[in-house]
Amino acid sequence: MANIKEIARIAGVSVTTVSRVLNNHPYVSDIKRAAVLNTIEQLNYSRNMNAVHLITGRTGAIAVILPYINLYYFSIVMDGLAHEALNAQYRLILCQSNYAAEEELKVLEMLRNKEIDGVVIVSTALQPEVIEEYTDYGPVITCQDSGERRFSSVYIEHYEAFWDGLQYLSSKGYRKIGYCEGRQNGSSASIRQSAFRAFLSERNLPFREEWMVYDCMTEEDGAGVALSLLDMQDRPEVLIITGDHVAAGLIIEARKHGLRIPEDLAVMGFDNQPIGRLLDITTIDNHLYDMGAAAFRIIHEQIRTGSRVPVHRKLDYEIIERGTV
């Protein structure tokens, strides 16, 4: 492969001149420019950014690990990340992992191999100990609370948020509380389940296995829950559902079958999604866009300054009172 020195030699100009032509710098005579461009064409040379990265030690790229891009939660976090990345002129490499640990590890290996400058982990199948092993190679940030780890994090306190939501339902007089969750074994999901059980136990509220539903990811899953409730002898009075779109599906289907919301069944959602605003769904706003934006800003700052001190930032959440509770 031809390099800049070789081009300069063949074209009979200085290396500086070649570099100026490559970078479209104005102060180059037309004759020299033509000589360089002809030589480049002869040698079929293209400025190779991989060589530039090799020299500067920076790639201008950050990888993002998330399981599914087409779920509201993840697409909004990605929106925040991508918006900030564009502002900072950083490239985002998206790994839609479907929670395959080996694929997530490959992304962390990219950090070790200096192919990227940092990794944002929105949600992961990996244990925190595994992620920590890579922090020597560059900054890593998760969008989950993993405690005082060697990598950074930006998160909402799912335990606290869920507890507050339950407290709100309890304050409204509900005693029979059901719960619809996405992926049962997700790390945030596990935290919410702990909060749920602890709250019911502390308040002496009934816990019933059939009021716990997992794998509620889509509007149609929510509708399925509504149908299963119809056949239930002893129904919960209220459901807390980790996603307004799932809550929307449930509400729409429940109303088709004559259930009144909130009189026959109250519903509390999560995420403050557009469909939730439209259906007047009481919800907990996690500020997901802000989480993505903050994750980018933190990791970008760490790349810029070379700091390896992990940052742990807790974000606010808020209960938005509407008509379904």
Helices and strands in the chain, H and E counts:
13, 12
- Nearest distance from C-beta of residue 47 to a copy of itself, angstroms: 5
Q: Which range binds a copy of itself by CB under 8 A, 8-16, 78-86, 156-164, 169-177? A: 78-86
Considering only residues 245, 297, 300, 322, which one is a binding residue for a copy of itself as defined by CB under 8 A? Answer: 245
Residue 103 or 290: which CB sits closer to a copy of itself?
103
Residue 145 or 271: which CB sits closer to a copy of itself?
271
Q: Please name the amino acid found at residue 68.
A: Y
Residue 44 or 204: which CB sits closer to a copy of itself?
44
Work out whether 92 is an interface residue with a copy of itself (CB under 8 A).
Answer: yes
Does residue 181 contact residue 190 with C-beta atoms inside 8 Å? no
CA–CA separation, 154 and 165 (whole Å): 21
- 31: tokens are 């004759």
Name, in order, each residue with C-beta under 8 angstroms of 83's C-beta and a sequence gap of 6 or more.
292, 293
Residue 41 or 148: which CB sits closer to a copy of itself?
41
Q: Which range binds a copy of itself by CB under 8 A, 25-33, 105-113, 195-203, 262-270? A: 105-113
Q: Which of 242, 316, 317 is nearest to 281 (CA)?
A: 242
CA–CA separation, 92 and 100 (whole Å): 20
- Nearest distance from C-beta of residue 114 to a copy of itself, angstroms: 5
Q: Which range binds a copy of itself by CB under 8 A, 171-179, 246-254, 297-305, 311-319? A: 246-254
- Nearest distance from C-beta of residue 26 to a copy of itself, angstroms: 17
Does residue 243 contact residue 73 with C-beta atoms inside 8 Å? yes
Considering only residues 19, 96, 190, 194, which one is a binding residue for a copy of itself as defined by CB under 8 A? Answer: 96
User: For residues 13-72, which are near a copy of itself according to CB under 8 A?
Assistant: 46-51, 53-54, 59, 61, 63-64, 68-70, 72
Work out whether 253 is an interface residue with a copy of itself (CB under 8 A).
Answer: yes
Q: Which range binds a copy of itself by CB under 8 A, 86-94, 125-133, 142-150, 193-201? A: 86-94
Looking at the DSSP bridge assignments, the partners of residue 282 are: 268
Q: Please name the amino acid found at residue 125.
A: A
Three-state SS at 182: coil
Does residue 238 contact residue 171 with C-beta atoms inside 8 Å? no
Output the furthest CA–CA distance in the chain (Å, rounded): 90
Count Cβ atoms below 10 Å from residue 214 Cβ, excluding itself. 16
3-state class percentages of the chain: helix first, strand second, coil last, to nearest 5:
45, 15, 40
Residues near a copy of itself (CB under 8 A)? 1, 46-51, 53-54, 59, 61, 63-64, 68-70, 72, 75-76, 78-79, 82-83, 85-86, 91-98, 100, 103, 110, 112-115, 137, 218-220, 223, 245, 248-249, 252-253, 274-275, 277-279
